[in-house]
Amino acid sequence: MESEINSQAEIIENLINRYILNYCVLIDIPLCINRIVLIASGSSYNAALFGKYFFENISNIEASCEYASEIAHSNFTNFDKNVLYVFISQSGNSVDTVLAMEKIKEQGLKTLCITNNENSKLYNECDYKFDIKAGLEYAIAATKTFGASVVMLWIIALKIAQNKQIDVTSHIENIGSIRKNIEDAISDIENLDLVSKILSKQQGFSICGYNEKFPIALEASLKIKETCYINTCAYPLGEFIHGHFALLNKSNVLLTFLTSDCTNLERNLLKKILKTYKAKSIVVSDTYDDYDCDILLKFPKCQSKIATIVSMIIVVQMLAFKTALRLKRNVDKPQGLNKVVDDKDLK
């Protein structure tokens, strides 16, 4: 797991260099897209939520996310012919994702996949396909394939925007420093050992994030569950105050993602929570700010939005890794877990 976390700087740099040249995105996608539906499971579903954010905020196009199992095993067949259906799977053979793809292909609809396997069902059968070329991932918990999938979705969003004559210069400038940003995040996360020590002693805790930081919170929750067997729950920060924060009556830790561009709304929401409950507040951020928190889990500030997102992904992965080591878990082969890539894995 540690090796695969460390490999992301090179993998993501190669991905960007392969598809972006002189501010131009060099990929083939449909020209006329009215809406996007992203379909995935597990960590790939969390990546899909980032895709929704990118498509709506960069490409100015409506997007939604669906769990592959819900599509695959539902009776619904009235799919929209003006939609691009995007499937995300590390293996390209994840059983529910493949079944969902086959169901949609039967309707003659446009399909696109992001995978780490050119010799897979998804890659062979989708109309448009992208191999993130992350190399074989040995650890059960997705790390390098997750980071690369998120960046690939960002690249696709840029291309859709360019096809719509939207200027994406501000998103791409400074992208040349992303490798250094990732390497800095891996090597320089303040209070990482302290926070991992605190989390390793919890039976459960809540994780919050607003807007694009909500998928980060979900991925943090999943990674900690997978590697540490700690019961974590993730919420949008604004939603958390609608009853969910009663959990803080039993749990004394709240982990929140707030970056240097966060809004006053985000700060005020956190302050409202902490005024009501005396939880130990841990904030993940790229800047020192008035978060009124007990511990700041700080990573180096980046020059681009996508680099900041990838750096937060690194923080999540390193935090899960360090916490699992403290608990003496087998981070590469968590007990009872395997990648669901065949029908027998569901039986």
Assess contact for 220 and 208: CB atoms under 8 A: no
* Residue 334: predicted pLDDT: 81
pLDDT at residue 344, rounded to an integer: 47
Give the Cα separation of 153 and 13 in Å (integer): 15
End-to-end CA distance of the chain: 27
Residue (of 233, 199, 236) closest to 215 by Cα position: 236
Q: How many CB atoms lie within 10 A of CB 143?
A: 28
Q: Which residues pair with 163 in a beta bridge?
A: none
pLDDT score, position 246: 67
Structure tokens at 37: 């539906």
3-state secondary structure of 229: coil
**Token code pair at residue 342:** 């065949």
Question: Burial letters for 209-240: b for 16+ Cβ neighbours within 10 Å, e otherwise?
Answer: bbbbbbbbbbbbbbbbbbbbebebbbbbbeeb
| Whole-number pLDDT of residue 340 | 55
Residue 148 has φ and ψ, to the nearest 5°, of -70, -40
DSSP helix/strand/coil, 112: strand
Strand order in the sheet with 35-40: 62-67, 35-40, 83-89, 110-115, 128-131
Structure confidence at residue 266 (pLDDT): 87
Residue type for position 25: V
Q: What is the pLDDT of residue 147?
A: 98
The candidate with the shortest Cα–Cα distance to 186, out of 87, 314, 29, 33, is: 314
- Report pLDDT for 305: 95
- What pLDDT score does 347 carry? 38
Name the CA dihedral angle for 287, 288, 291, 294, rounded to a multiple of 10 degrees. 120
* SS3 of the chain: helix, strand, coil, percent, to 5: 45, 15, 35
| Residues paired with 208 in a beta bridge | 235, 256
Distance of CA 143 to the CA centre of its chain: 10
Continuous segment of H or E residues that includes residue 150? helix 144-163
Give the pLDDT confidence score for residue 339 in this predicted structure. Answer: 60
With b meaning 16 or more CB within 10 Å and e meaning fewer, what string describes 264-275? Answer: eebeebbeebbe
Q: Which residues of the chain have pLDDT under 70?
A: 243, 246, 249, 336-347
| CA 26-100-343 angle, 5° bins | 115
Please give the C-alpha separations between residue 31 and each of 194, 242, 335, in angstroms, as whole numbers: 49, 41, 45
